[in-house]
Structure 1
Amino acid sequence: MIRMTTTALALGLAAGAAQAQDHRCFEHEQMARHLAENWGESRQSIALDAANSMVELYASPETGTWTLTVTTPDGPTCMIASGHAFELTSETLPVLDEGA
């Protein structure tokens, strides 16, 4: 099963610039309500990208659907990716020390 990890979220941050004139943009409250009512998704994580845009990952652990959104400081909330097979993980950092 595909795992949606922090790494995948970081990759999604780079896609934020691509959402500029996307027609899948709505007011933040409207987007959150739509994702909850139609897909059973709630916010699972939140971060700021380099442009100070808010990046949010909404997902439903029950159905496995997920949606990545970006909200610019002065603009609407836009969907930049969505999919299925969401799984919440908590992974530790790998040991990078090869010895002294």
Structure 2
Amino acid sequence: MKKTLFTMTMGLGIMVLAAQQVRAGTCAPREDVMKRLTETYGETRRGIGIARQGAVMEVYASDQTGSWTITVTLPDGITCLVVSGQAYEATVEALPPNI
């Protein structure tokens, strides 16, 4: 139950953030956003997930600069920048068991 609630909350949160970004003007065709992330920041895709209503959430990061970006691509092909930052570090760790 807790896992389902968490998943639903995250999906809704991502969609709300994406809708806010559309109004803020930080959205563009997917090809344009991917080109900028790779050419300007050296970021590559590190993770992907499916959100509600067919949206796709992706995490991009650069090992060289430590920059990272989370994007949401809507079903119409528009990609919105949700958040970005510095000091990205890849980790591999076991998740705790569900309680």
Post-superposition shift, 1:95? 4.4
Task: State the one-letter code of the partner of 2:17.
Answer: A
CA contact (8 A) 2:11 2:52 kept: no
Per-residue CA deviation, residues 24-68 of structure 1 (Å, 9 max, x unaligned), is 111111101001111110111111012220001010011110000
Q: For structure 2, which runs of at least 5 residues remain unmatched after alignment?
A: 1-8
Name the counterpart of 1:5.
none
What are the within-5 Å matches in structure 2 for residues 1-100 of structure 1?
Answer: 14-20=13-19, 21=22, 22-95=24-97
Q: Given the superposition, is the C-alpha separation of residues 54 and 96 from structure 1 closer, same or farther in structure 2, using an over 3 Å criterion?
A: closer
Report how many aligned residue pairs link the two structures.
Answer: 88
Deviating runs (4+, > 3 A) in structure 1? 10-13
CA contact (8 A) 2:57 2:70 kept: yes
More helix by share: 2
Name the counterpart of 1:3.
none
In the superposition, the TM-score normalised over structure 2's length comes to 0.77
Could you say what the CA RMSD is over the residues aligned between the two structures, in angstroms? Answer: 2.2
Post-superposition shift, 1:17? 1.9
Task: State the one-letter code of the partner of 1:55.
Answer: M
Post-superposition shift, 1:96? 5.6
Q: For 1:51, what is the secondary structure of its paired residue?
A: helix
Task: State the one-letter code of the partner of 1:94.
Answer: P
Q: For 1:17, what is the secondary structure of its paired residue?
A: helix
